A and B are shown apart, each in its own frame.
Chain A
């Protein structure tokens, strides 16, 4: 296990390698960059296929089944099609920003994977500020989305981009507060240590309310239903990527799926016990959990309608934020005053607290929204 450095500025500290991985610092760096790229790209392809097949099943139809067995090669055929498409740039768009936006959206999401442990010690960099780094870097993707929306010189894409930024600002806060609960229990910001702390009980049981808030928040962060109003197809046609075509569109699309993968992987790491599980090898457990979270997201997508922008905002500030603060208060009291309590007692208390809080709060909270005098 890597020795955690207290000085994040000292780059050379990263060279302290996990003992079970061969090679030196640079070999490790190269190998893991390739692994992460391959993982993200391949998982995105599988996710696209899985989502379309699962949606088909949810919607009493078959889904793609023409290209390859069970339509498995459909995403590859789609990518080939996108590669050969004409690459259009709007005549009055901002060409440089338009060109940069897909990269700015994709690269930060890719960088999240640098600190996610696929199994014990198998990660690019075991930063001691891991989760802080994730929170910081994942917000940068919104800049790419806004650049795309702005540079397209299209009203739909601008509205979509504005919605994305508004949502990011609102949902970042409950997400971070729910992560703080996990960090309080673990006493560390390192993702490896967080997974290690879940050896007996995954944090989804110790922090049920925190998981709920994190899950809803990450749905909003990755623009999935019911918070998909950034690209709301019935209102904004396609939202911020309306003017994109060809490989640029593919990159934006990939960024979106990479964000879902990242969020699923983060949920796995923070709340579902990461790579840990009986019998099967750790990496398999990690993948099973990531795919399970993703299938749950697809299930939600096929079931519930979209919320309106003011309702989305109200939900973040009036529902998630207070609950996240209360959850943080409960967790800190438990950690400070009752550190020796049996964890199962805490699990029970927190589950009861979650049910009571969510039910009583939703009694007073209405999504609503009223007509505005103009």
Chain B
């Protein structure tokens, strides 16, 4: 008797514990081995780009919160930067520093979630994730102090930020910045030399350098492939040219490198926060901007190094109070495009961790 085997199709998602949202992977499996995999996106499409065309420039700021809802501060920034560029609005220096502080805190939050859920996908039952969420709570408390919100902040405005920081913010931030390196060391102790974590992630899901550049990947995914590309250094925006920090890169561009790059970037965030706190000038935080802003006709693109990669906003203005076109260059979506090449030939369990190591946010992928 001859036995014959068949490939079978397994739908991972759209509702699946490890897709971090509503995302579907159509995996064709040969036993446990992935023969083919096809990402299916669009389950969280809300038409934000089209909605934004019907709202005034200022009304669009809360929409950007809802793109990458795990890093709302970093989403506000490129949009207000784009509009400021278009309407030639000056930003007070104190506001620039506050923006940098918020965005760097946000980067820590986003990386905490990225690393935490990545290890959760590896099967470490909650412990690393919850240790990391302990620090995330502290940062969210800081955000709450500043703008009253814990998830969708809506903090940045054209020409500055909505509120100045309260008096108790800087001492709380200083305390956090002092303690954070110790916490990062704690994560490292828990994870970095774990034999099973190394065996599961080393060499898995390799994204070669040339492929990473060809798909125009960005952020930790690109840097883990060994490309030293960080918009904070390559095209300094805001006041980033005044800070000293390194760009951590990986070597063999596997899931482990992406994890390492994120951990190292958290340390660099703390460095930037320290310098920003020292240099923080006094003064006002918001320039007066007309309520109904009508930027001159034209187009503009502004980008920042968001936690997940290059986040850019492309705006076209027709001199009305609403944008004619509102386009988001979402790093999550673009980093996701090489998923198939990274996964074929690996096991089903690897699909989950490679997907987790890319660190996407579905709000941003589907918009």
Write the residues of chain A forming the contact surface with B, with a CB cutoff of 8 angstroms: 55, 58-61, 155-156, 159, 225-226, 228-229, 232-235, 237, 301-311, 366-374
Contacts and interface: CB of A to CB of B under 8 A. Distances in A.
A372 B352 CA distance: 17
17 contacts: A59-B126, A60-B130, A156-B10, A225-B123, A225-B125, A226-B196, A302-B125, A302-B126, A304-B196, A306-B349, A308-B347, A308-B349, A311-B200, A367-B199, A369-B199, A374-B30, A374-B345
Contacts of A225: 123, 125
A61 B124 contact: no
Interface stretch (B51-59, B114-122, B219-227): B114-122
Contact of A59 (B8, B130, B194): B130
A297 to B, nearest CB: 12
A311 B199 CA distance: 8
A305 B344 contact: no
A155 B123 contact: no
A373 B345 contact: yes
B17 interface: yes
Contacts of A308: 199-200, 347, 349-350
Contact of B196 (A235, A367, A373): A367
Given A60-B131, A302-B127, A235 B194 contact: no
A155 B17 contact: no
B120 A234 contact: yes
Contact of A374 (B33, B123, B130, B134): B33
Nearest to B195: A367
Interface string B253-283: 0000000000000000000000000000000
Contact of B349 (A58, A229, A374): A229
A232 B351 CA distance: 13
A311 B345 CA distance: 15
Contacts of A228: 123
B32 interface: yes
Contact of B348 (A60, A159, A372): A159
* Residue of A306, A311, A370 with highest tally of chain B CB at under 10 A: A306
Contacts, number: 100
Contacts of B194: 304-305
A166 to B, nearest CB: 10
B126 A159 contact: no
B199 A309 contact: no
A303 to B, nearest CB: 6
B119 A305 contact: yes
A305 B35 contact: no
Contact of B122 (A55, A58, A306): A306
A235 B18 contact: yes
* Residue of A303, A369, A373 with highest tally of chain B CB at under 10 A: A369
A146 to B, nearest CB: 16
* Residue of A159, A305, A373 with highest tally of chain B CB at under 10 A: A305
A157 to B, nearest CB: 12
B16 interface: yes
Contacts of A309: 32, 347, 349
B197 interface: yes
B69 interface: no
A306 B125 CA distance: 9
A313 B283 CA distance: 65
Contacts of B187: none
Nearest to A309: B32
Interface string B12-36: 0000111000000000001011110
Interface string B43-56: 00000000000000
A155 B124 CA distance: 24
Nearest to A233: B17
A316 to B, nearest CB: 15
B346 interface: yes
A306 B33 contact: no
Interface string B132-166: 00100000000000000000000000000000000
Contacts of A155: 8, 10
Nearest to B124: A305
B196 A303 contact: no
